Amino acid sequence: MSPTNEDKHREAYASAEAEVRALEPSSIAARCGMRWQGEVLALADDAALTDDAALADEAAPAGSTSSGGDAAPSEATGTLTFQALGTATSLTWPALSFDAVHPVLHNFAWQLIALHYIRMATGRRPGTDWVTYRELPDGLFYANTITREVEQPLARLFATDPEGFRRAALALGGTEIDVADVAVAFHPLPHVPVVFALWVEDEEFPAKMSVLYEREGAANLPLQDLRILADMLGAALKRAAGPQGRR
């Protein structure tokens, strides 16, 4: 029997978890814009532990050092905390259990994307080099899907209602920026801004909505994940618009 989509999703998630668990959590925090809070274990005999560590150092080959960096697995336990869509979010280690307050983040897709981010994030902070999906490497493949399923429906919905768009976007945890008549940046992950930019309808031109990515921030995720984030945020904007968004 061929694997179902559910089986494939489960396998993809398990694979992503395994890749993340092979990393060192404090290095993840530094690279991904997160905070690592390790748990302090209660030890019955601190002196004995110190003696064991000293003996281990004496037995180590000359010139050897303890391994560090992102590639070293860790036996630590604790929590990675970060902001997602303006809300406090956490990931327990090593269970990799998410605790997200924002309702948009309560789904399998975002959690898988977050694991991809933890594995891929470059550590470089995004700037202001805003580009459309089609301007990203290999972005032409899904660009028309984003235009048809996300940008055009939102342009029609908010064509003459920029204040309605602003209210809906800010209520979802966005931050207004100055790149269009109304534009709001969302941060579904710390270094991955996604902008929804609205140019309102006038006598000469129809309304236009563009989903924009910051070029450096887009390097933190696979291309397909960036498309899924556009879908998720676009759907949330429609819901936030109320009854008119469900037409």
For 19-65, write each residue's pLDDT tens digit.
Answer: 999 999 999 999 999 999 998 654 334 444 445 444 344 444 444 33
Q: Report the pLDDT value the prediction gives residue 84, as an integer from 0 to 100.
A: 98
| Positive or negative: CA dihedral 99, 115, 213, 147 | negative
- Which residue has better confidence, 68 or 100? 100
pLDDT band at 247 (very low <50, low <70, confident <90, very high): low
| pLDDT tens figures, 103-129 | 999 999 999 999 999 999 999 999 999
Cβ(73)–Cβ(21) below 8 Å: yes
Q: How far apart are the first and last CA of the chain?
A: 40
* Phi, then psi, of 148 in degrees rounded to 5: -70, -40
Q: What is the pLDDT of residue 46?
A: 47
Q: Inform me whether the pLDDT recorded for 246 exceeds 50.
A: yes
Q: Which residue has the higher pLDDT, 95 or 65?
A: 95
What is the spatial distance between Cα 216 and Cα 209, in angstroms, rounded to a whole number? 22
pLDDT at 79: 98
* pLDDT score at 74: 55
Task: Average the pLDDT over each of 4-18, 159-173, 222-236 and give the range with the smallest value.
Answer: 4-18
Mean residue pLDDT across the chain: 88
Query: pLDDT value at position 56?
Result: 42
Ranking 1-5, 97-101, 219-223 by mean pLDDT, the lowest is 1-5
What's this model's pTM, rounded to 2 decimal places?
A: 0.84
Give the pLDDT confidence of 185-240 residue by residue, as tens digits. 999 999 999 999 999 999 899 999 999 999 999 999 999 999 999 999 999 999 99
Domains and CATH numbers, the chain: 5-120 (no CATH), 130-246 (3.30.530)
Residue 107: CB partners within 8 Å, gap ≥ 6? 232
Residues comprising the chain, all counted: 247
Position 73 scores a pLDDT of 55
Which pLDDT belongs to residue 6?
Answer: 84
Q: What is the reported pLDDT for 19?
A: 98
pLDDT band at 3 (very low <50, low <70, confident <90, very high): confident
Least confident of 3-7, 81-85, 187-191: 3-7
